[in-house]
Amino acid sequence: MKIKVDGQTVERRAVWWEDGKVWMIDQRQLPFRYSEVSFSTPAEVGQAIKDMVVRGAPSIGVAAAYGVALDLVCCEQLFTENEMGAFLEETFQALNTRPTAKDLTTALDIVGSTIQKVFRDEGMERAREVALEAARWFDNETVRSCELIGEHGAELISDGAKVLTHCNAGALAAQDYGTALAPIRKAHEQGKGLFVYVDETRPRNQGARLTAWELSNEDIDHRIIADNAAGFYMSKGEVDLVIVGADRVVANGDVANKIGTYEKAVVAKENGIPFYVAIPWSTFDPGIASGEDIPIEERDDEEVLTTFVELDGKVQRLRCSDPSSQGLNPAFDVTPARFVTGYITPEGVLTAEDLAKRLS
């Protein structure tokens, strides 16, 4: 992704491996302060995922993949096959700190199974090498998939289109191009004039803080709106299509995404506005039949009771609610497939029926 830092434009991914450590852009500090942080153990990476230093399902998956490699590359112990299995299981538990994002367990499964096969066939030293190779493969595959999503999705965006998006499904959430923002980026690169409505996305304001920051970095025209204003603009005919990302899409096409997505889908349907979900294959979960069975993460109610502010160059949270009240904070909701016009995937724009055939 393109990032403007101290007047300079640099290219950076949300998560990367460098000098035997896992590095991340600290998304908690954006847009007020740009900082990079590093982690040396899977437990530290797992805590960073939980604390949302990194967030967005694909980027979480990449962080987990590098977390597995980190544990194995830095371990000098020799294992039997049973000991290797136990070692990986402990690492997986340390990293699996957010239950809704499917990419996290997809990454653990891919990297873990690759390590175990190579360990059985070629031994410990080669397994250490393959751990990092597999993590880098998952990273690059995520970026490649999202670029393809951008190419297919850009065909849905006409010159002059007005697009609504929710939360942050950009490069920060998916390493480079993003998922929902990938079609917007590609359409912009193609010279199409477009405008983006950016939902603020309470309670953590990922739209107002992160999506707007990404669009500003690439000079894409946009405005931040209150979450409750999206229906107003849709009812006025001011929105041509809605594109969101997802944390998990299950066998029947139901979609788990940031809380508030369901509302946007229902209002879009009511107003005859196409509603698209952009996802790489790592986000699909054919093992779950319907959205009713998707695990929904409940986060600390302090996120609802407070808001982000910037004071003296530091990002802080201040109470913005009645001091005697408590809150409820589901991080995600489920949008039934009947509200989804299509799924923008690396293989093209699919219907729920197409998706079921692809995953069967």
Contact 99, 295 (CB under 8 A): yes
| The one-letter amino acid at 59 | S
Instruction: Please report, to the nearest 10 degrees, the dihedral formed by the alpha carbons of residues 83, 84, 85, 87 taken in order.
Output: 90
81's CB contacts (< 8 A; 6+ apart) are 116, 119, 120
Q: How far apart are CA 284 and CA 107, in angstroms?
A: 12
- What is the spatial order of strands in the sheet that 36-39 belongs to? 15-18, 21-25, 36-39
DSSP state of 201: -
Establish whether 247 is a catalytic residue. yes
139, 240, 247, 254: which one is catalytic?
A: 247
330's CB contacts (< 8 A; 6+ apart) are 259, 296, 297, 298, 299
- Write phi, then psi, for 349 (nearest 5 degrees): -90, 120
First to last CA, the chain: 34
Q: How far apart are CA 181 and CA 245, in angstroms?
A: 8
Range list of β-strands (E), 228-359 = 241-244, 248-250, 255-258, 275-278, 284-285, 306-311, 314-319, 332-335, 342-345, 348-350
Burial class (CB in 10 A: 0-12, 13-18, 19+), 313: exposed
H or E element that contains 194: strand 194-199
The residues carrying an active-site annotation are 247
